[in-house]
Amino acid sequence: MRTVRNCVFETNSSSCHVVTLMSDDELEDLKNGDLLLIVYKSQGEKVITRTITKFRFEYEIQECQFCYDYETHEKKYVDIDHKIRESLAENLWNLLTARTHSKVEDYNQKLDNIFEMYELDKSFVDEVRDYISNVQDSYSVEFLLSNMVDYDTQHGEIQHFSCHEVEC
């Protein structure tokens, strides 16, 4: 990698890269378990890291109520009581944030147990599982944090930057 233009990330590599830029507050929240990282392909084949707060996570779980039914091959809306949805989101959030700090033994079984606590439509569960499959685990978060470089902004703030190759 070489600098061609200031403030522009460029490589001559043909592989995909995950670029992560975080503020001091976001980095602190990630370390405290108040933030999740989701890495996914979007905007063509760009690989993007998004930070997710608990509020945003609950919203995304709610949005999963608009899901695809693989049996009928149609989009549908699944009506779920808001208290059940909030409880589900809370349980999933706790499991996923724990997983960002250390390996969770029997993670898949614990995930299954959470879904089994509620009588949920299969299409909704599939949609939620697909959404949370992109939440990064402790290995990914540790790797990202170990590769962070700090940069001062023009406004005197510090931005934390990380870039690493991923399989496309």
Q: Into how many domains does the chain fold?
A: 1
- Within a domain: 5: no
Cβ–Cβ < 8 Å for 143, 100: no
Is residue 118, in this structure, part of any structural domain at all? Answer: yes
Q: Is residue 158 part of a domain?
A: yes
Exposed (0-12), middle (13-18) or buried (19+): which is 93, by Cβ within 10 Å? buried
pLDDT of residue 134: 87
d(Cα 52, Cα 35) in Å, to the nearest integer?
6
Distance CA 40, CA 60 (A): 15
For residue 13, which phi and psi values (nearest 5 degrees)? -85, 150
Write down the pLDDT at residue 23: 76
The length of the chain is 168
Strand ranges (DSSP E) for the chain? 16-23, 36-42, 46-52, 66-69, 74-77, 149-152, 158-166
**For the chain, what is the mean pLDDT?**
82
Residue 81 lies in a domain: yes
pLDDT in tens, 102-120: 999 999 999 999 999 999 9
Helix or strand or coil: residue 150? strand
The percent of residues above 90 in pLDDT, for the chain, comes to 46
pLDDT in tens, 43-60: 555 667 788 999 999 999
3 state SS for 44-62: CCEEEEEEECHHHHHHHHH
Going by C-alpha positions, the residue among 58, 65, 55, 54 that lies closest to residue 120 is: 65
Identify any residues that bridge with 37 across adjacent strands, giving them in sequence order. Answer: 51
Q: pTM for the complete prediction?
A: 0.77
Question: Tokens 């614990």 — which residue?
Answer: 110
Rounded average pLDDT over 6-17: 52
DSSP 8-state assignment for residue 63:
H
Q: Does position 2 have pLDDT exceeding 50, yes or no?
A: no
148 within domain boundaries: yes
Q: Would you say residue 9 lies in a domain? A: no
- pLDDT per position as a tens digit, 74-103: 999 999 999 999 999 999 999 999 998 899
Domain around 80:
16-166
Is 154 domain-assigned?
Answer: yes
64 assigned to some structural domain: yes
Angle at 41 between CA 35 and CA 46, to 5 degrees: 110
